[in-house]
Amino acid sequence: REQSLLDADVQVRGMLNVLDSCVSASVEKIIFASAGNDLYARTDSASLPLAENAALSPMQPQEISKQAAEQYLRYYTRQYGLVHTIFRYADVYGETVREHIHHPLSYMISLLLEERRPTIRRSADELRDHIFIEDVVRANLCALEGGRNQTFNISTGEGHTLSEFYYAVAATLHSQIEPIYITNSLVFGLPSAPSAITLDNTLAWQKLGWHPQISFAEGVQATIDRISKHMGLKVSVV
């Protein structure tokens, strides 16, 4: 309950404060980083990837707040003429500073470089859309000129599991360490089947001229290189 109130205070009340300030300062445009994978209703694999007009069904307080913030942003656009672009990002990876790590990949790399055993805390076989951070930066730059009052998925349209990420890193680092798996995916007290979600980026390609340029393998390798450098380590790849 307390977390729900905190999320609403930060995401909804905070968003309203930002929007009021933008109107007062005659800000020309706002780019809003919304939720991605966890905003959409789960569906069968045949319906993937999901476009921006797919049904929304956020399950967690943070994603519910993101959906509410999107609606307030559209309201301010209608009411006050504030121009906006809404980006629904897939899971963004590629960060290197440990204090700012949000994606499990960076955590996995850091621990394997230290020859420690990582813990994967959600379903290792859940298929999700992941996007490299530099592709996200390029999308944001595209929105400076395009995407007037539109919503876009910023994604690869492809799905990868945390197991795929882990073993890609382990193979590159020649590590035999196995991770510890901890999952809370239960339905009526029993393990649930892994879900799948990927996001269609066609609209961003058509309207912004943007598409992802970094492949899964390239993104994993670039993240390993950056974290190794940040940690002052030299990694040899055979």
Q: What DSSP designation does 55 have? A: P
Query: What is the C-alpha separation between 106 and 93, in angstroms, rounded?
Result: 7
Average pLDDT by stretches of 10, the chain with 238 residues: 79 93 95 94 87 93 92 96 97 79 88 92 87 97 95 97 96 94 57 78 97 97 92 62
Of the candidates 85, 128, 88, 87, the one whose C-alpha atom is nearest the C-alpha of residue 104 is 128
Q: What is the pLDDT of residue 121?
A: 79
The reported pTM is: 0.89
Q: What is the pLDDT of residue 10?
A: 83
Map residue 187 onto helix, strand or coil.
Answer: strand
Q: What is the pLDDT of residue 189?
A: 47
Give backbone dihedrals phi and psi of 203, rounded to 5 degrees, phi first.
Answer: -65, -40
- Which pair of structure tokens corresponds to residue 196? 């799948």
Secondary structure E strands in 15-173:
29-34, 83-89, 91-93, 119-120, 130-132, 150-154
- Which pair of structure tokens corresponds to residue 197? 């979600």
Give backbone dihedrals phi and psi of 32, rounded to 5 degrees, phi first.
Answer: -105, 125
Q: What is the pLDDT of residue 9?
A: 84
Secondary structure E strands in the chain:
29-34, 83-89, 91-93, 119-120, 130-132, 150-154, 180-181, 186-187, 190-191
Map residue 209 onto helix, strand or coil.
Answer: coil
Q: What is the pLDDT of residue 222?
A: 96
Query: What is the C-alpha separation between 201 and 133, in angstroms, rounded?
Result: 16
Query: What is the C-alpha separation between 66 and 74, in angstroms, rounded?
Result: 13
